[in-house]
Amino acid sequence: MEINDSVALVTGANRGLGRAFAQRLLERGARKVYATARRPETVDLAGVEVLPLDIADPASVRAAAQAAPDVSLLVNNAGIQTGTDLVAGSLDAVRRELETNVLGHLGVIREFAPALARNGGGAVVNVLSAMSWFGAKGAGAYHLSKAAAWAMTNGVRLELAEQGTLVTAVHLGLADTDMSAAWPVAKLAPSDLADAALDGVQADSAEVLADQWSRDVKSRLPLTPEEFDAAMDRALAALMTA
């Protein structure tokens, strides 16, 4: 999959990681970049084609797919984090995260899969998180949604292989976006995340671990749950005191 001369669509492209993806796609030679957002008037990047898209609204997703039939690279970036715990938190908020971060991404893939097939197979990038693999107080719903999104990505990869579509899962720790503004720690620049993901697509990689944090977390998965939790407690404490 070549980025140069591709036709890309980025969800949640009005800020943060989505805006960085759209900008780097233009800079790396994409022929066209559809920059989508729930409020399209908030997209301020020159050179893109702006489309309205609410990934939690099936009608909106369907309309975007009809408006962009030439897409060869889909970047599933839009998502939410409500700061909700699983037991004591709002069940409606938990459902909202699952509807957006899992079923929203899946709905976009389902609608755009035929276009990707017609356009040579192309690629799907799903922006996930190191929190696909660990939970934290105040982020139980986010962990659940990202773990489910990881499983969904792996399943979609198998199903779309027959039509020649690459599906790349991108994991990261903290990027320097509005979502992580309250964390006074070192963060990945959004443009670096976008480049790591796009490099992975060009290399036909099924998975991109975009920073040391995501690589460290995944390396701990063979541990027992007790060992894993203790290691994560130490890593989080070190992160906050660095």
Q: What residues are labeled active site?
A: 142
Q: Are 242 and 184 in contact (CB under 8 A)?
A: no
Residue with tokens 């790591």: 196
Residue 212 exposed, middle or buried by CB count within 10 Å (0-12, 13-18, 19+): exposed
Neighbours of 13 (CB within 10 A): 32
Please, what is the angle between helix 225-241 and helix 212-219, to 10°?
160
Exposure letters 159-198 (e unless 16+ CB within 10 A, then b): ebeeeebbbbbbbbbbbbbebbeeeeeebbebbbbbbbbb
